[in-house]
């Protein structure tokens, strides 16, 4: 694993890891793409962090805020729209990741299938394929065997993560990573999906990035 370079984001207390500049193999076709260095949250944004934002700004509480399956302090926040995620990121002095940034943070530079390598997931690496009626996201960072080459957790399964990009301009925004209720095939780092920007689902959350200067 790449040696970790970390910072703590002052506003929300998030630990962020450095993803260095350079090329990586992106997409199903493993096309070489070059991007600048950036920091990314090591974990998805949690309910505890989102509560700081709600308390500080008066923002509306997430859709599943009072549902005990989804409201534990260290679970990833869900029930937030793309605009909610953007507002949080702006408050915290960050932004949503571009799709290429998200993918590099998830799979590293070598074109691997999953954050941990090329073998299929198991329940020590990822949270996936749970029952829609009873399942829920795990607490962030529990699946240590599933960490990415840069030390990011939960980038396969647990919750989908909003990205900055349009999937279909004016209609859908990109989400990445798969979630607690998806099949292992969808957890691959190259897999692309989308959601309505106003959607507030119980399996979609986010993490943030900031430019490295």
* Cα distance between residue 72 and residue 93, in whole Å: 25
CA distances from 205 to 3, 80, 184, 198 (A): 27, 7, 18, 13
Is 1's pLDDT higher than 80? no
pLDDT tens per residue, range 20-59: 999 999 999 999 999 999 999 999 999 999 999 999 999 9
For residue 2, the model assigns a pLDDT of 63
Backbone angles phi, psi at 199, to 5 degrees: -65, 145
Strands 172-176 and 160-168: antiparallel
For residue 117, the 8-state DSSP code is: B
* Domains along the sequence of the chain with CATH: 6-211 (3.90.1580.10)
User: Going by C-beta distance under 8 Å and a sequence separation of 6 or more, which residues neighbour residue 33?
Assistant: 23, 24, 25, 26, 100, 104
What are the residues facing 194 on neighbouring strands?
174
Contact in structure between 209 and 97 (CB atoms under 8 Å): yes
| pTM (two decimals) | 0.96
* Cα distance between residue 9 and residue 41, in whole Å: 9
To 10 degrees, the CA torsion angle through 185, 186, 192, 193?
140
pLDDT tens per residue, range 158-199: 999 999 999 999 999 999 999 999 999 999 999 999 999 999
């Amino acid at each position: 694993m790449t040696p970790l370079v970390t910072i703590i984001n002052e506003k929300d207390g998030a630990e962020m890891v450095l993803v260095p500049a350079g090329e990586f193999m992106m997409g199903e076709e493993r096309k070489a793409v070059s991007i600048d260095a950036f920091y990314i949250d090591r974990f998805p944004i949690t309910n505890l962090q989102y509560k700081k934002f709600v308390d500080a700004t008066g923002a509306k509480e997430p859709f599943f805020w009072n549902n005990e399956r989804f409201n534990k302090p260290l679970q990833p926040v869900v029930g937030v729209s793309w605009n909610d995620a953007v507002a949080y990121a702006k408050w915290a002095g960050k932004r949503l990741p571009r799709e290429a940034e998200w993918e590099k943070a998830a799979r590293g530079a070598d074109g691997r299938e999953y954050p941990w390598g090329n073998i299929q997931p198991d329940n020590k690496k990822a949270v996936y394929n749970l029952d829609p009626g009873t399942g829920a996201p795990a607490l962030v960072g529990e699946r240590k065997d599933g960490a990415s080459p840069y030390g990011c957790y939960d980038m396969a399964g647990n919750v989908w993560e909003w990205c900055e990009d349009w999937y279909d301009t004016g209609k859908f925004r990109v989400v990445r990573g798969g979630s607690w209720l998806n099949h292992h095939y969808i957890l691959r780092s190259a897999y692309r999906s989308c959601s309505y920007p106003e959607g507030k689902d119980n399996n979609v959350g986010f993490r943030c990035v900031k430019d490295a200067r």
